[in-house]
């Protein structure tokens, strides 16, 4: 084990805090979905510490100091971060570092992400980089910390060892993290009952109180399962769980676990006796066998406890206890995760048992497939289509395009033109704004398929206003398409083949897999911001169809839509809000292979009919179906 440098986490007796007479820098961190501890900013940490001094068992509203963290609340008793709009709960911890390390000096190291903004490194990485920087090392290899990157200080860049891709890094000065000296703050009783008055009844406090009850129930259930599973044959001892007084009028029970025998207790298993049985049968007023008084310890400074809680979520749920997934229910809207979290909170508040579980993950891809098992789709020529960047063919004369699809109306009805909102019996509203030879402002025409009537000059103006003039026309009222509509899809590649696996709901057929791949590039004249770079996230994208008659029909039409550049376009992502990026273009695809957790998978008996209707709306029809 390597000797920690000056910026290493100070850990004494596995408790995560140093001796009481030593100064230390406090950094609060939260556990992300990749099991990495991410630091809060120094401003947020100062705010948490200020609340902690007033009430070590209270709650912290993060939105008071950071507008981006408005939905988040930290419950100091359960050491969990709660997101109000989704119900998601994540563990948090309180770490301590040497005052001479990067957080003590207010130094932050960041890397530039794909969006052009800056992301801070994990705190241990930041400290390691700063130590190497202060020693004037020309470069730093992060492989020893589990990251395949090399930092070059001369060019201030980070290189991926595998792909050789480089990103910019920067070192900036910020507010120093809070410094604490002396004893660890002791927990205080939550104000309940006659001893300390009635709790506040405002909406914020009601939410926090409910959150605390939910957290206690979750942690209690997890610990019971963990010690029941590991305590077989060790007696009937149980581990007392620290509960909130929010919903009862009794005294507070703190953690009763000891520091463990020297060198005998495993990390993350506080409160176990030397014999191996859970040593939690002692309240804070009782003594351990042999007369040794068990020290009182606060959950605030026990990161090992948090790790145990996270690991124990994988244990089985006790029979009879309803399981509510935190991140997802049987739906796709944002209200479902919030309902899951709030339902669990309300059930806990009412004294009902509940277990919040991790949501099942979507099955996006099939099992591994040998290349020899991949076959062409029957009846579909080829296995790949490519589109290249090419200039759009513009009609020589917009009037010719309009006249191609319209018939003149000698006696138009006395109704509005839905383009200029003037009466059809009067001149077009574009009179004086747009002048074209041979197109008088009072001329009215009727579209051949749908029969809707407009001023000819209005249709010419509508055609000219489009970002692509490909010779097609779309009725502004019913969206009927005249001619062959093309889109603004960037250059890329579409592959399609047959794989020997079945989709849910189509167990008797194999599966057609479509793979779209579009690289990043520069926007053309038909795009929102010509000359500006666009991004392409999530490529290659895999999509799936059943290999039956209707599935192959959909594939033929999707190939036609790809050739017409209608599958994707450049715009703003509804998921991330990122602009100038490649997005789907109103033709839905199924991207989940073996599940339907997000609504983009199978079984879905109506999908093939729905996507055929979407293709028809884009003017993509089989030759025999065209008028």
Contact by Cβ (8 Å): 31, 92:
yes
| Three-state secondary-structure class, residue 113 | coil
Closest CA to 180 of 272, 3, 307, 301: 301
Same domain, 27 and 176: yes
Question: What percentage of the chain has pLDDT greater than the value 90?
Answer: 31
pLDDT given at position 121: 93
Any domain includes 543: yes
pLDDT given at position 389: 61
Q: What is the CATH number of the domain that holds 436?
A: 3.30.40.10
pLDDT given at position 197: 40
Closest CA to 329 of 562, 611, 87: 87
Q: What is the CATH number of the domain that holds 87?
A: 3.30.720.50
Same domain, 456 and 513: no
- Measure CA 20 to chain center: 40
CA 59/CA 199 separation, integer angstroms: 14
Any domain includes 156: yes
Any domain includes 2: no
Q: How confident is the model at residue 199 (pLDDT cuts 50, 70, 90)?
A: very low
Q: Which residue has the tokens 């715009």?
A: 571
Helix, strand, coil % over all residues of the chain, rounded to 5: 25, 20, 55
Any domain includes 218: no
Average pLDDT over every residue of 431-450: 77
Residues near 13 by Cβ (< 8 Å), separated by ≥ 6?
259
Same domain, 72 and 164: yes
pLDDT given at position 597: 82
| In the predicted structure, residue 25 carries a pLDDT above the cut 50 | yes
Contact by Cβ (8 Å): 278, 271:
yes
Task: Please indicate whether residue 287 or residue 319 has the higher confidence score (pLDDT).
Answer: 319
pLDDT given at position 218: 55
CA 565 → CA 153, 386, 401, 588, 611, distances in Å?
44, 11, 21, 15, 17
Any domain includes 289: no
pLDDT given at position 260: 38
- Lowest mean per-residue pLDDT among 77-91, 144-158, 371-385: 77-91
Same domain, 472 and 499: no
CA 538 → CA 283, 541, 582, distances in Å?
53, 6, 10
Q: How confident is the model at residue 532 (pLDDT cuts 50, 70, 90)?
A: very high
pLDDT given at position 194: 34
CB-based burial label for 229 (10 Å; 0-12, 13-18, 19+): exposed
Contact by Cβ (8 Å): 277, 234:
yes
Same domain, 44 and 177: yes
Question: What percentage of the chain has pLDDT greater than the value 70?
Answer: 64
Same domain, 413 and 547: no
Same domain, 161 and 29: yes
- Lowest mean per-residue pLDDT among 227-231, 299-303, 406-410, 433-437: 299-303
Domain termination site, one of 140, 160, 181: 181
| In the predicted structure, residue 224 carries a pLDDT above the cut 70 | no
pLDDT given at position 568: 95
DSSP 422-491: SBTTS--TTTTT---TT--TT-EEEETTT--EEEHHHHHHHHHHSS---S-EE-TTT--EES-----PPS
Q: How many domains does the chain have?
A: 3
Same domain, 503 and 581: yes
| In the predicted structure, residue 186 carries a pLDDT above the cut 50 | no
Number of helical (H) and strand (E) elements in the chain, helices listed first: 11, 28
Range of the domain at 66: 23-181
Any domain includes 375: no
Q: Which two tokens stand for residue 333?
A: 């809207």
Any domain includes 433: yes
CB-based burial label for 222 (10 Å; 0-12, 13-18, 19+): buried
Highest mean pLDDT of the ranges 66-70, 253-257, 523-527, 542-546: 542-546
CA 486/CA 29 separation, integer angstroms: 50
- Lowest mean per-residue pLDDT among 4-8, 559-563, 587-591: 4-8
| In the predicted structure, residue 314 carries a pLDDT above the cut 50 | no
Q: What is the CATH number of the domain that holds 546?
A: 3.30.390.130
Q: How confident is the model at residue 402 (pLDDT cuts 50, 70, 90)?
A: confident
Domain termination site, one of 149, 181, 213: 181
Q: Supply the DSSP symbol for 372.
A: G
CA 38/CA 365 separation, integer angstroms: 29
Instruction: Kindly report whether the global pTM for this prediction surpasses the value 0.85.
Output: no
| Three-state secondary-structure class, residue 352 | coil
pLDDT given at position 581: 94
Average pLDDT over every residue of 367-371: 89
Domain termination site, one of 476, 503, 518: 476
pLDDT given at position 567: 95
Same domain, 93 and 122: yes
Q: What is the total residue count of the chain?
A: 627
Q: How confident is the model at residue 76 (pLDDT cuts 50, 70, 90)?
A: confident
Q: Which two tokens stand for residue 303?
A: 């990161």
Same domain, 460 and 501: no
Q: How confident is the model at residue 77 (pLDDT cuts 50, 70, 90)?
A: confident
Highest mean pLDDT of the ranges 199-213, 399-413, 524-538: 524-538
CA 250/CA 247 separation, integer angstroms: 9
Average pLDDT, the chain: 74
Closest CA to 40 of 60, 20, 22, 21: 60
Same domain, 496 and 461: no
Same domain, 424 and 538: no
Any domain includes 500: yes
């Amino acid at each position: 084990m390597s000797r920690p440098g000056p910026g290493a986490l100070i850990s004494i007796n596995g408790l995560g805090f140093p001796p009481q007479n030593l100064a230390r820098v406090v950094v609060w961190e939260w556990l992300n979905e990749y099991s990495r501890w991410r630091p809060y900013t120094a401003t947020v940490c100062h705010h948490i510490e200020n609340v902690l001094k007033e009430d070590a068992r209270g709650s912290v509203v993060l939105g008071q100091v950071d507008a981006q963290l408005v939905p988040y609340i930290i419950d100091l008793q359960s050491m969990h971060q709660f997101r109000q709009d989704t119900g998601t709960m994540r563990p948090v911890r309180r770490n301590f570092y040497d005052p001479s390390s990067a957080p003590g000096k207010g130094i932050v190291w960041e890397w530039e992400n794909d969006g052009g903004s800056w992301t801070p490194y994990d705190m241990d990485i930041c400290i390691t980089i700063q130590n190497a920087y202060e020693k004037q090392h020309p470069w730093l290899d992060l492989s020893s910390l589990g990251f395949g990157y090399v930092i070059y200080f001369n060019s201030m860049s980070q290189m991926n060892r595998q792909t050789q891709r480089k990103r910019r890094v920067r070192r900036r000065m910020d507010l120093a993290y809070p410094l604490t000296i002396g004893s660890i703050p002791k927990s205080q009783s939550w104000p309940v009952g006659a001893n300390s008055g009635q709790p506040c009844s405002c909406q914020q406090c009601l939410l926090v109180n409910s959150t605390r009850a939910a957290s206690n129930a979750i942690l209690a259930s997890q610990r019971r399962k963990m010690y029941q599973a590991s305590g077989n044959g060790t007696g009937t001892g149980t581990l007392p769980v620290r509960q909130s007084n929010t919903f009862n009028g009794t005294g507070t029970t703190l953690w009763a676990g000891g520091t463990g025998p020297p060198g005998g207790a495993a990390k993350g298993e506080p409160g176990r006796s030397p014999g191996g049985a859970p040593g939690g049968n002692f309240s804070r007023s009782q003594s351990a066998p042999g007369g040794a008084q068990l020290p009182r310890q606060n959950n605030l400074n026990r990161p090992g406890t948090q790790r145990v809680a996270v690991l124990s979520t994988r244990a089985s749920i006790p029979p009879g206890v309803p399981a509510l997934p935190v991140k997802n229910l049987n739906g796709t809207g944002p209200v479902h995760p919030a309902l899951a979290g709030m339902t669990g909170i309300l059930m806990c508040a009412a004294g009902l048992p509940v277990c919040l579980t991790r949501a099942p993950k979507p099955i996006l891809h099939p099992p591994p497939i040998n290349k020899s098992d991949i076959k062409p789709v029957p009846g579909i020529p080829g296995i790949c289509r490519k589109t290249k960047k090419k200039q759009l063919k513009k009609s020589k004369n917009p009037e010719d395009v309009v006249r191609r699809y319209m018939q003149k109306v000698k006696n138009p009805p006395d109704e509005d033109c839905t383009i200029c909102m003037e009466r059809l019996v009067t001149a077009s509203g574009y009179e004086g704004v747009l002048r074209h030879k041979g197109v008088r402002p009072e001329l009215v025409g009727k579209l051949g398929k749908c029969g809707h009537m407009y001023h000819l000059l209005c249709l010419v103006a509508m055609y000219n206003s489009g970002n692509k003039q490909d010779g097609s026309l779309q009725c502004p009222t019913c969206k009927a398409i005249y001619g062959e509509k093309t889109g603004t899809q960037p250059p890329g590649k579409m592959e399609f083949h047959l794989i020997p696996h079945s989709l849910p709901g189509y167990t008797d057929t194999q599966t057609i897999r479509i793979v779209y791949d579009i690289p990043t590039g520069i926007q053309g004249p038909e795009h929102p911001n010509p000359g500006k770079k666009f991004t392409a996230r999530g490529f290659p994208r895999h999509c799936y169809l059943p290999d039956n008659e209707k599935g192959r029909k959909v594939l033929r039409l999707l190939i036609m839509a790809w050739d017409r550049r209608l599958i994707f376009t450049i715009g703003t992502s509804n998921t991330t809000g990122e602009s100038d990026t490649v997005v789907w273009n109103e033709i839905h695809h199924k991207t989940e292979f073996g599940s339907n957790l997000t609504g983009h998978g199978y079984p879905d008996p109506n999908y093939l009919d729905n996507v055929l209707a979407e293709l028809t709306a884009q003017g993509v029809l089989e030759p025999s179906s065209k008028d």
